[in-house]
């Protein structure tokens, strides 16, 4: 009977150790996910024409200056655009085009520590 008690205690100890390891692993995964989010940001803004009116249908391009990858967004009725999932370690160039007009290219710098900066763009007619 004492041998059964010993086996039972060892099994309980083993089960408790396994539970502790699983909790530790889950905590480490959560901390890693939280650290990943610390290096992610977004950018948003509004595209206006030369008269200051919001432009629906303007194409906003976001260029990663490290990889040269370009993402595009077509503005809505209120001229708004939004890009998410951006790295905090990379500079991005943002510009807008619509019906022969373009905005000046703006840079979102890696030195800008804001997580959700607002970069508004103004279209100018090409000369």
Interstrand relation of 40-48 and 121-125 (parallel, antiparallel or unpaired): parallel
Per CATH, which fold does 40-125 belong to? Immunoglobulin-like (2.60.40)
Q: 14-36 b/e with 16+ CB inside 10 Å = b?
A: eeeeeeeeeeeeeeeeeeeeeee
What are the pLDDT digits (tens) for 58-83?
Answer: 999 999 999 999 999 999 989 999 99
Confidence of residue 1 (pLDDT cuts 50, 70, 90): very low
Share of the chain above pLDDT 70, in %: 83
**Residue-level pLDDT at 14:** 75
Tell me which of 12-16, 56-60, 91-95 is least confident: 12-16
């Amino acid at each position: 009977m004492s041998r059964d008690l010993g086996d039972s205690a060892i099994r309980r100890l083993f089960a408790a150790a396994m539970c502790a390891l699983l909790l530790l692993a889950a905590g480490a995964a959560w901390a890693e996910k939280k650290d990943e989010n610390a290096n992610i940001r977004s950018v948003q803004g509004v595209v206006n024409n030369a008269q200051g009116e919001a432009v629906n249908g303007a194409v906003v391009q976001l260029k990663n200056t490290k990889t040269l990858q370009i993402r595009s967004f077509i503005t809505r009725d209120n001229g708004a655009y939004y890009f998410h999932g951006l790295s905090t370690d990379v500079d991005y160039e943002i510009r807008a085009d619509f019906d022969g007009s373009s905005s000046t290219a703006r840079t979102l710098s890696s030195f800008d520590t804001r997580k959700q900066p607002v970069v508004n763009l103004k279209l100018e007619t090409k000369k």
